[in-house]
Amino acid sequence: MIQAGNELLRHASSISPNGRSPKQRRVRSRSRLAVRLRTAQLRLIFIFSLAAIITVTASGLGCSSKKPEEPTVSVQVVPVKKATIEQTVTSEAVLYPLAQSAIVPKISAPIKAFYVNRGSKVHAGQLLATLENRDLAAAAQDNQGTYDQAQAAYTIATASTLPEEIQKAQGDAQAAKVTLEAQQKLYDSREDLYKQGALPRKDLDQAAVALTQAKNQYELAQRHLDALMAVSKQQELKSAAGQLQSAKGKYLGAQAQLGYSEIRSPINGVVTDRSLYPGEMAAAGTPLLTVMDTSSVVARAHIPQDQAALLKLGDKATITVPGAGSDEAEPIEGKVTVVSPALDPNSTTVEVWVKADNPKGRLRPGTSVKISMLARSVPNSLVIPAAAVLTAPDGGNYVMVAGSDNKAHQKTVKTGIRQGDQVQILDGLTEGERVITSGAYGLPDNTKIRIEAAPESDKTETDKGEPGKTERPSAGKKPETDAK
C-alpha cells in the first residue's frame, strides 16, 4: 500500500498544469497527492480491520456451537446394609470406690502406735492404731469395782429374810387360817348332827357365827400381809436394782472410752491415707486414716435429662480410661446401678452410677474416665457410614446416591441412631442402594461420576461394621474432575 502511494506521487510530479511556474505546480501537486495518499491509507486500514473482526466473530460463532464436555467426578460408594445398631449414651465421669471410710477418733490423745501404712490391705475389725489410754484403763478398772459391789448388794437384798413386821403379819395370817379351818370343821360336824336331830338349832347357829368371824379375821390378816409385801419388799428390791444399773452404766461407759483408743477398720479395703505419725496428737473429729474398698469402683456422671430417660437399672455399660497405656486401654464392662430420680438443681442434670469390678486394681478412685451405656439395640436396621450423610441449607439431612446411569442423585433421608461411624436410616433409602461416602460434599445433583475402589483399610473397617473415616473437602472447595 505504501509503494502504491509513492508511485502515485511520482506520477503527479511529472504533470505540469498551465498558467503556473513549474516550481509552484510541483508544490501544489505534491500536497494534493499527500492528502489523497493519507485518505487511501485510512480506507485500507479500515477495510483490513473490518475483515479481521468478521473473521474472529465467525470463528467464535463456530466454536460456540460445539457443546463443552461434561466433567466426571471420582467418588467412593458403600451399599446400604441391614445390621444391628445400638444406641449408647456416653459421658465423662469420675471414679469413686465402692466403699470409703475416713476413720475419725472420738477422743483426743497422742498416737501410741500405728500397725498399717499406706497401701496396706485390711479387713473389717482389724486394729489399725492405738492411742494413749492408761488413764482410761484406770477409770475402767475403778468403775468395774463399783459395778461388782452393786451386784453383791443386789444379791444380798434379794436373798435376805423378811423384816419383823412382815414376819408378824405372816404369823397372824397363818393363825387366822388355822382358826378358819377349825371353825369350818366344827360347823360341818354340828350341821350333820342337827340334820340327824341330835343337836339343837342354837348350837348350830353359834358355830355359824364363829365360822363367819374366823373367815373375816383371816381375810383381814391376809390383806395386811399382801400390803406389806407389795410395798416394803418391792421398794427394797427396786433400790438394789437401781444401784446395780447405775454401776453397770458407768462401767460400760468407761469400757467404751477405753475402746475409743483402739482405731479399727469398719470395712475391708486398702489404706489410702495416713496423715500423722506415732507420738503426734490425734484430734477428735479429724480423720486419722482413710480406708477404701477398691474391689469394685463406681463411675459417677451427670448427663442431660433426655439421655437419662433412655437408661434403666441393669443396663450394660463400659468404662474407658482416656490416655491409658495399651494394657489399660481396653474398656471394662459394668452395669448401671443408679439413675437418680431427681435433677441436680445446680446443673439440671441427672446423676448416673456405673459399677464395675476392679480385681486387678487398674481403676483408681479419682480418675476421670469415659463411660458408654447401652440404652437399646435395634436389629435389622438400614445402616450407612456417617460420612455419607450431608446437611442441607435448611438443616435437613441428605445423601448422594450413585445411580445406574453413572450419575449422582440427591436423596433426602431421615436419620436415627448414631453408633460411632454408622448411622441408622429411618426413611429415604432401601437396602442395596449405593451411597457416596467420599466426594459427595458440594456435588451437584445429576453429576456424572466415576466410582473408585475404597482403600484396603476402609474396606476392612466396613466389613467389621465400622466404616473408615473419609475426609470431606472443605466448604467452597470444588470436587476433583476428570482430566477429560
Which pLDDT value is given to residue 481?
Answer: 38
Tell me the pLDDT tens digit for each residue of 153-191.
877 766 654 556 677 878 888 888 888 888 888 888 888
Residue 483 lies in a domain: no
Q: Which residue has the higher pLDDT, 235 or 327?
A: 235
Q: How many residues does the chain have?
A: 484
Q: 447 and 384 in one domain?
A: yes
Coil/strand/helix, residue 104: coil
250: cell is 458407768
Domain boundary among 354, 376, 398: 376
DSSP 387: G
- Residue 125, pLDDT above cutoff 80: yes
Mean pLDDT of 323-340: 81
How many CA atoms does the CB half-sphere of 446 hold within 13 Å?
1
Q: 429 and 362 in one domain?
A: no
Domain boundary among 376, 406, 441: 376
Instruction: Supply φ then ψ for residue 460, to 5 degrees.
Output: -60, -45
Tell me the pLDDT tens digit for each residue of 45-71.
767 677 777 765 655 544 444 555 667
- Residue 252, pLDDT above cutoff 70: yes
- Residue 23, pLDDT above cutoff 80: no
Cβ(283)–Cβ(110) under 8 Å?
Answer: no
The CATH number of the domain holding residue 367 is: 2.40.30.170
Handedness of CA 46, 48, 50, 56 (dihedral sign): negative
DSSP 352: E
Q: Which domain holds residue 412?
A: 74-83+380-463
Asked which of 51-55, 128-132, 465-469 is least confident by mean pLDDT, the reply is 465-469
Residue 474 lies in a domain: no
Which pLDDT value is given to residue 193?
Answer: 82
Ramachandran category for residue 476: left, alpha or beta (phi over 0 → left; psi -120 to 50 → alpha): left
Q: 242 and 355 in one domain?
A: no
Residue 144 lies in a domain: yes
Residue 55 lies in a domain: yes
Which residue's C-alpha cell is 453383791? Answer: 152
Asked which of 84-88, 292-296, 302-306 is least confident by mean pLDDT, the reply is 84-88
Which pLDDT value is given to residue 110?
Answer: 93
Residue 476 lies in a domain: no
Q: 268 and 249 in one domain?
A: no
* pLDDT band, very low/low/confident/very high, at 25 (cuts 50, 70, 90): low
Query: Whose CA is closest to 214, among 248, 244, 185?
Result: 185
Query: Whose CA is closest to 243, among 162, 156, 139?
Result: 156
> What angle is formed at CA 187 by the lines to CA 184 and CA 193, rounded to 5 degrees?
145
Q: 237 and 140 in one domain?
A: yes
Residue 93 lies in a domain: no
Cβ(287)–Cβ(298) under 8 Å?
Answer: no
Domain boundary among 37, 64, 91: 64
Element (H, E) at 65: none
Q: Which residues of 359-389 are buried (b: 16+ CB within 10 A; e: fewer)?
A: eeebbebebebbbbbbbeeeeebbbbbbbbb
d(CA 470, CA 421) in angstroms, rounded, equals 10
Query: Whose CA is closest to 241, among 161, 166, 156?
Result: 156
Q: Which residue has the higher pLDDT, 303 or 196?
A: 303
Ramachandran category for residue 122: left, alpha or beta (phi over 0 → left; psi -120 to 50 → alpha): beta
Number of domains in the chain: 5
Query: Whose CA is closest to 287, among 295, 296, 275?
Result: 275
d(CA 105, CA 264) in angstroms, rounded, equals 10
Q: From the CB of residue 57, how many other CB atoms can be counted at a distance below 10 Å? A: 10
Residue 97 lies in a domain: no
Which pLDDT value is given to residue 130?
Answer: 93
Which pLDDT value is given to residue 75?
Answer: 87
359: cell is 480385681
User: What is the average pLDDT score of the chain?
Assistant: 80
Q: Which residue has the higher pLDDT, 219 or 49?
A: 219
Most confident of the ranges 134-148, 157-171, 227-241, 343-357: 343-357
Cβ(408)–Cβ(425) under 8 Å?
Answer: no
* pLDDT band, very low/low/confident/very high, at 466 (cuts 50, 70, 90): very low
DSSP 261: T
Q: 239 and 203 in one domain?
A: yes
Q: 228 and 252 in one domain?
A: yes
* pLDDT band, very low/low/confident/very high, at 147 (cuts 50, 70, 90): confident
Q: 222 and 111 in one domain?
A: no
Q: Kindly give, in sequence order, each residue whose CB lies less than 8 Å from that of residue 394, ignoring residues fewer than 6 positions away.
A: none
Cβ(458)–Cβ(449) under 8 Å?
Answer: no
Mean pLDDT of 91-110: 93
d(CA 257, CA 107) in angstroms, rounded, equals 8
Q: 237 and 175 in one domain?
A: yes
Cβ(174)–Cβ(243) under 8 Å?
Answer: no
Q: 252 and 157 in one domain?
A: yes
The CATH number of the domain holding residue 455 is: 2.40.420.20
Asked which of 58-62, 288-292, 360-364 is least confident by mean pLDDT, the reply is 58-62
Tell me the pLDDT tens digit for each residue of 447-464.
888 888 766 655 544 454
Residue 69 lies in a domain: no
Which pLDDT value is given to residue 414?
Answer: 92
Q: 386 and 371 in one domain?
A: no
Q: Kindly give, in sequence order, each residue whose CB lies less than 8 Å from that of residue 239, ignoring residues fewer than 6 positions away.
A: 157
Q: 138 and 233 in one domain?
A: yes
